[in-house]
Amino acid sequence: MGKPQVAQKGKEEACTSSLKKNVFGGHGIVGGQIGLGAGIAFADKYSDSDRVTICFFGDGAARQGILHETFNMAMLWQLPVVFICENNHYAMGTSVERTSNVLDIYKFADAYDMPGDSVDGMKPESVHHAISRAVNRARSGGGPTLLEIKTYRYKGHSMSDPAKYRTKEELEEYKEKDPIEYVLKVIKANNMATDEEILAMNDKIKATVEDAVEFAEKSPYPDVSEVYKDIYVQEDYPFITD
């Protein structure tokens, strides 16, 4: 194994995690982030901070053992954490029905006396209210909450997933309830923005995405020496001496 590398300054903006912005990234090990989220919440409580951790995971992670161990400890120590299960009904190509006899994932909280709620993920206001309530509870010392946010994904799990495990009708049914289209309707009905302002926002977002794609396509492949970079240590660890 090579010598640990020190993270380069200025690279944070390009990463999926950012210590500066308190975003701790995604995890390749399904369910691993449940324990890590509680750990971050423990650190915040230990240091008397008023921060609240929002820990996201999919329906596929909900049946990992780590969820139960973490729920137990999070309740025992009343950690300031909101567990959010994004239930889009499929873990890769496997439906929740095929892997669990408990279809309401929020009920997993009951075993630990943790408050748990089912939330309509296609309604942004419902998501906002549920998360606000849970964050307020955590911040005022009321401990963790589990929110099962019911939603859907239009695409497969990845580019290699043709999503043949579901019907076209099911897909179309959810597209009818698309939360972005719904928000647009609410914004227009309440005169919160004009068509021009919405168009300008869309153009700005499109340009940002196109810039990112161009940046990625024009960037050289990394050198093999980069393989251990940003993995084992971070630059502000005091034991790095060189």
Ligand X SMILES: Cc1ncc(C[n+]2csc(CCOP(=O)(O)OP(=O)(O)O)c2C)c(N)n1
Q: Could you list the residues that contact ligand X (CB under 6 A)? A: 28-30, 58-61, 88, 90-92, 153, 157
Beta bridge partners, 149, equal 86, 119
Q: Are 66 and 29 in contact (CB under 8 A)?
A: no
33 is an interface residue for Mg ion by CB under 5 A: no
Which partner in ligand X, Mg ion, none is near 156 (CB below 5 to 8 A by kind)? none
Q: Are 116 and 109 in contact (CB under 8 A)?
A: yes
Cβ-based neighbour number of residue 178 at 10 Å: 13
194: phi then psi, degrees, rounded to nearest 5: -85, 165
* H/E segment holding residue 137: helix 124-139
Q: What does the alpha-carbon distance between residue 77 and residue 142 come to, in Å, rounded to a whole number?
A: 10
Q: Are 82 and 135 in contact (CB under 8 A)?
A: yes
208: Cβ contacts below 8 Å, ≥ 6 apart: none
Nearest approach, Cβ of residue 15 and Mg ion (Å):
24
Nearest approach, Cβ of residue 238 and Mg ion (Å):
40
Out of 33, 88, 118, 145, the only residue in the binding site for Mg ion (CB under 5 A) is 88
Nearest approach, Cβ of residue 231 and ligand X (Å):
17
Q: Name the residue nearer to ligand X (CB basis): 32 or 115.
A: 32
Q: Name the residue nearer to ligand X (CB basis): 10 or 162.
A: 162
Residue found under tokens 């139960």: 68
**Which residue, judged by CB position, is nearest to Mg ion in the bound state?**
58
Which partner in Mg ion, ligand X, none is near 177 (CB below 5 to 8 A by kind)? none
Q: Name the residue nearer to ligand X (CB basis): 35 or 80.
A: 35
Nearest approach, Cβ of residue 128 and ligand X (Å):
22
Out of 4, 58, 156, 179, the only residue in the binding site for Mg ion (CB under 5 A) is 58
Cβ-based neighbour number of residue 183 at 10 Å: 14
Nearest approach, Cβ of residue 102 and Mg ion (Å):
16
Binding site for Mg ion (CB under 5 A): 58-59, 88, 91
